[in-house]
Amino acid sequence: MLAVNGIPLFYMELAVGQYLSLGTVGAWTALCPMSRGIGFAMIMISFLVGIYYNIIIAWVVLFLFQSFRADVPWKTCDNQWNTRFCKTKRFGANSTINCTALGISDGCSPDWKSPSEEFFNNKILRISDSITELGSVGWEVALCLLLSWIMVYLCLVKGVKSSGKVVYFTAIFPYVVLVILFFRGVTLDGAGDGVLFYVNPSFEKLGNPEVWVRAATQIFYSLGVGFGSLITFGSYNSFHNNCERDAIIVCLINCGTSFFAGFVIFSVMGFMAFNLGTTVDNVADSGPGLAFVAYPEAISQMPVSTFWAILFFFMLLTLGLDSQVNLVIS
């Protein structure tokens, strides 16, 4: 998918911006006046994605603030947001729960929740029982969202000049943290099982169209294809810049980083599965659940969990700001 779609489209957008030295709308208008709407569509996509993406950054900011404690707050079940179904060590997939033995006379459910899951759902998201129950404003998240937009503004206050300086930090610092987390992860008990789960392929799933759809979606989101930011960045290049080389190098580094990050994540997932006495596939999650539930829960089981939580969420913050700046600048 990288070779068929990712690199060619990445190269095309860079080349268009570099050749015409115009922004998203201007470049498409110059290519063909009738295709001007494509430029506006790209801007609209960036606008819509940027709105919800900054909310995710706000969650990261709140997690980061909450990490500055002696113990991370999602480590135990004795907080005000926890329910009767919170359990610090979940039962395995094949466990049978004896509600009488546990002293629960009513409302018993086998769907126990981890402290990190309840922290995310009840403290951060404040999920209600029904869509008709709006509830009150979550001021903590709202203030973190405001802070997120302020940080984005400060990164772009002087346009590309200021964002270019910020990128030196937001692009390099995550690699430092990834290396630190990698060496910490592979030294944990059960890390090998997590890594084997990550690298062990399931070739039969290649026949599932959903797998290819998700692969294409991941490539487009990861490389930023179709958002217009690549055309904008390309417009700042010199006319004779070798954008083909840039496209290949950036795409390969991007995918290589994602592959390396998988070792960081799944080594810790293996450690978590080892502690719970279950398999990796029972603890691994996808989407926001991986960053805000599964990985934080694993961190809470590590020695000096506060330090690792701060390091992890600060890395997510720099990555999020880097992506958000690219969306807004287009």
pLDDT score at 114: 85
Determine the Cα angle at 270 with ends 269 and 276, to 5°.
Answer: 90
User: Do the beta carbons of residue 190 and residue 275 sit within 8 Å?
Assistant: yes
Distance CA 9, CA 6 (A): 6
Which amino acid appears at position 94 of this protein? N
Amino acid at 119: F
- Neighbouring residues of 198: CB distance < 8 A, sequence distance ≥ 6: 262, 263, 265, 266
pLDDT per position as a tens digit, 250-274: 999 999 999 999 999 999 999 988 8
Which residues, given as ranges, of the chain have pLDDT below 50? Answer: 91-108
Per DSSP, helices labelled H in 187-304 are 191-199, 209-223, 229-234, 243-276, 288-289, 295-300
Q: Hey, which residues does 86 pair with through a beta bridge?
A: 113
Binding-site residues, please?
A: 222, 254, 319, 322-323
pLDDT digits (tens, 9 = 90+) for 265-298: 999 999 988 887 888 888 777 667 788 988 898 8
Nearest 5 degrees, angle CA 221-CA 217-CA 237? 35
| Residue 138: per-residue pLDDT | 86
Q: Quick one: pLDDT at residue 93?
A: 42
pTM of the entire predicted model: 0.86
- Bridge partners, 113 (sequence order): 86
Report the length, in residues, of the chain.
Answer: 330
* Domain layout of the chain by residue ranges: 5-329
Whose tokens are 């330090």? That residue is 307
- Binding site residue list for Na(+): 222, 254, 319, 322-323
**Ramachandran quadrant class, 277 (left: phi over 0; alpha: psi -120 to 50; beta: rest):** left
